[in-house]
Homo-oligomer: A and B are copies of this chain.
Amino acid sequence: MSLIVVGSMAFDAIETPFGKSDKIVGGAATYIAWSASNFTRPVYQISVVGGDFPKEEMKMLEARGVSMEGVQVKENEKSFFWSGRYQMDMNVRETLETQLNVLGHFRPVVPESYQDCEFLMLGNLAPSVQWSVINQLKERPRLVVLDTMNFWMESAMPDLERVLKKIDVLLVNDSEARQLSGQFSLVTAAREIMDMGPKYLIIKKGEHGALLFYEDQVFFAPALPLEVVFDPTGAGDTFAGGFIGHLARVKDISFESMKTAIIVGSAMASFCVEKFGVTRLKELTREEIDMRIRGFKDLTSFDIELV
């Protein structure tokens, strides 16, 4: 069941308490594709890069079953660049520099060959770009998942509100859920956000796990307690890739199925943070992934025996 992934393919420069990276390959769609392609292929990628984006990175993704037909290459321009710094509390990050470059005027085009897609992952991007992709699809996908961030709530709220009405699952972190709803309690926030459009809401809480809300039900997925979070960049995108990749694989979009998908996403994110950038994702084996998913089961399972 094919999956379209929309998002940035870009460069990042990252500082953490454990080290500093050079300008390395990143971007939401890069992480999502590396993560999702463990579970479903082909992945139909939609993005834009400059002439500076390494061709071999695109070839490596193609070799994984990620189609580059929808990735525009602007040879005479530069790719999106972000640099940021994390403190010991990796849940908070500081942006040092943002260069929009090719992303500043990105007009996504959905290739004809992508039209049969059943799953659509709208990675973090301008809501107007996310909206454009939805509208280019002749048939609505079975499941539309959208990731966004506080930046768009501040700069493009009307666009965001419009696209929220068109999606099934929204991914945000806890502070973004509070900002979007104006509510402090995550339970109240979730209810108000679901009234804005999405049927399902996933609130990511970094090292504290994630919550999935649907109607009046809630599911709590832990994060694996890790000795070292080396670099949290891309963890949310890797989570999203594992989440939608699993759903596309099992072709079941029920609440029960989404619970497992969140565990798969959490397992993938726990790998991502072990090394800079997508390094760890590139070397992953299916056995490692399965073992870690089982680790999540052990982490939370208990027996109840009531009197």
Contact = CB atoms under 8 A, between A and B. Distances in A.
Interface of A: 88, 184-188, 205, 208-209, 211, 218-222, 225-229, 249-250, 256, 259-260, 262-263, 286, 290, 293-294, 297, 299-307
Given A208-B209, A209-B208, A260 B303 contact: yes
Interface of A is mostly: mixed
This chain's copy number in the assembly: 2
A204 to B, nearest CB: 13
B222 A304 contact: no
Closest 8 CB pairs of A and B: A220-B222, A208-B208, A259-B302, A187-B227, A300-B300, A88-B184, A220-B299, A290-B306
A185 B226 contact: yes
Contacts of A297: 302, 304
Contacts of A286: 307
Contact of A263 (B256, B302, B307): B302
Contact of A300 (B184, B219, B227): B219
A215 to B, nearest CB: 14
A185 B89 CA distance: 9
Contacts of A263: 302, 304
A188 B227 contact: yes
Nearest to A258: B302
A140 to B, nearest CB: 27
A205 B205 CA distance: 13
A223 to B, nearest CB: 8
Given A205-B208, A211-B225, A226-B185, A219 B303 contact: no
B225 A220 contact: yes
A219 B259 contact: no
B225 A305 contact: no
A262 B307 CA distance: 16
Contacts of A294: 304, 306
